[in-house]
Amino acid sequence: MSQHLRKVIAAVLIPFATAVLVGLVVLWPGGAPPHERTGVGFDRQTQSATVTKVEEVDCASVNASGVPPTGDTSTAEGSSAQQQEKGTCKKATVRVDTGKDKGRTFTEIVQPDQSRQLKQGQEVVVAYEPAAPKDLQYSVTDVNREFPMALLAGIFALAVVVVGRMRGVMALVALAISFLVLTFFILPAILQGSNPLVVAVVGASAIMLIALYMCHGLSARTSVAVIGTLISLLLIGLLGSLFIDWAALTGNTDDNTGLIHGLYPEIDMSGLLLAGVIIGSLGVLDDVTVTQTSAVWELHEANPAMGWRGLYRAGIRIGRDHIASVVNTLVLAYAGAALPLLLLFSIAQSSVGTVANSELVAEEIVRTLVGSIGLVASVPVTTALAALVVSADRPGTPATASAAPAAAPARGGKGRRRKR
């Protein structure tokens, strides 16, 4: 390893890793603070249950009896009570499978125009409201999807291990550690009142160090990717802070964020938005910086005579192709996730300016554009660092050597000919 690389690690990576470790110790929470459940949204007591019986009944007679419908009450805009009474409803008997009321049954009515229809033998999730009358304490809120989700996760893990082999195993371990950092550090620390931006920076940095070095090894190549990712994250943090404040984005745009603000009013919601931008950008940044670093290293292995300028020019050409596809991926990923929202704007015949100006969409635009700027910046930064380091790390290769292989003999490199 060259003296230049030692200086880079000593001046940047070691103090950075030390600061991250200190931040984890100082900000480490004792767990999420307790609160009284509101019974709204996700803040409800839930249990597992099974639909044991489903029978068809007349909607008019059921509505007159006052039996409550299922928790999924989504209906079409144009439906009316008269139309519902003319249809055939379903009366579902549901058995509670967990909790203190295990074995207890209750009945719910499923209207014919509801999007979710219950079936006999189906596993569901039920909400429990202890303050309600006994016959109204339980209601179906969702379908139990644990098995298909677990099966899909298993297929994903198998595919990663089969294709990636040992690297794939290490990637899965790093993924698990990232999830643990998110669950046991980032989320509880924010709930306890720590600054969301500081928590996100410390947590994202810890995830980056663990994931990159675990997946790619403790090497000069990985260290360059870490430095490139760090510089890009700093840029994303600065731009995000500037434009979130300038655009007056509050971070409180839907029922979930409103519930968080109601339960924990001390949480800075705009800071939480910026924390989400940083954490969300980290995964794609890792991909770009590692790819660029690996490309430069492979270019040098293919042609050791290529100096850092030639390596940079060749690497940046690869990076341009990578950025073109990644930026398009980010935009399409948001459009796909927000398709129902965009469809509502289309139904309302709203102009592009009106849609972009709404805070709900503006948040995602700022998130996407700030992250994309960081991605674009990571390519020249990481490529330049990798070219400098890999050329300086090879004792027999001058850093200013020409990129053209034909020019190598003209520069008197007998040692270089022996190396080839």
Percent of the chain with pLDDT over 70: 79
Position 405 pLDDT exceeds 50: no
Q: Is-contact 250 269, C-beta < 8 A?
A: yes
Position 8 pLDDT exceeds 70: no
In whole angstroms, what is the distance from residue 354 CA to residue 364 CA? 14
Radius of gyration of the chain (CA): 28
Closest CA to 48 of 135, 154, 134, 145: 145
Which tens digit of pLDDT belongs to each residue from 186-228? 888 888 878 888 888 899 999 989 888 888 888 888 888 898 8
Mean pLDDT over residues 357-373, rounded?
82
Give pLDDT, residue 399: 37
Of residues 231 and 327, more confidence is placed in 231
Give pLDDT, residue 35: 61
Give pLDDT, residue 31: 63
Q: What is the DSSP letter of 9?
A: I
Mean pLDDT over residues 374-400, rounded?
74
Give pLDDT, residue 156: 94
Position 33 pLDDT exceeds 80: no
DSSP H or E run through 380: helix 359-392
Give pLDDT, residue 195: 85
pLDDT range class, residue 62, cuts 50, 70, 90: low
Give pLDDT, residue 9: 64
HSE-up of residue 67 (Cα within 13 Å, Cβ side) = 19
Give pLDDT, residue 53: 87
The residue length of the chain stands at 420
Give pLDDT, residue 363: 83
In whole angstroms, what is the distance from residue 305 CA to residue 417 CA? 10
Of residues 132 and 37, more confidence is placed in 132
Hey, what's the torsion of the CAs at 350, 351, 353, 358, to 10 degrees?
10
Token pair in block for residue 379:
């390519």
Position 132 pLDDT exceeds 60: yes
- Name, in order, each residue with C-beta under 8 angstroms of 204's C-beta and a sequence gap of 6 or more: 233, 278, 279, 282
Domain segments of the chain as ranges: 3-29+154-419, 45-143
Give pLDDT, residue 45: 80
Position 74 pLDDT exceeds 70: no
pTM over 0.85: no
DSSP H or E run through 285: helix 269-302
pLDDT range class, residue 416, cuts 50, 70, 90: very low
Give pLDDT, residue 72: 46
In whole angstroms, what is the distance from residue 253 CA to residue 257 CA? 6
Mean pLDDT over residues 278-289, rounded?
84
Mean pLDDT over residues 311-316, rounded?
89
Give pLDDT, residue 404: 39
Position 420 pLDDT exceeds 70: no
DSSP H or E run through 53: strand 45-58
HSE-up of residue 328 (Cα within 13 Å, Cβ side) = 6
Give pLDDT, residue 321: 82
- Name, in order, each residue with C-beta under 8 angstroms of 203's C-beta and a sequence gap of 6 or more: 181, 182, 185, 186, 189, 279
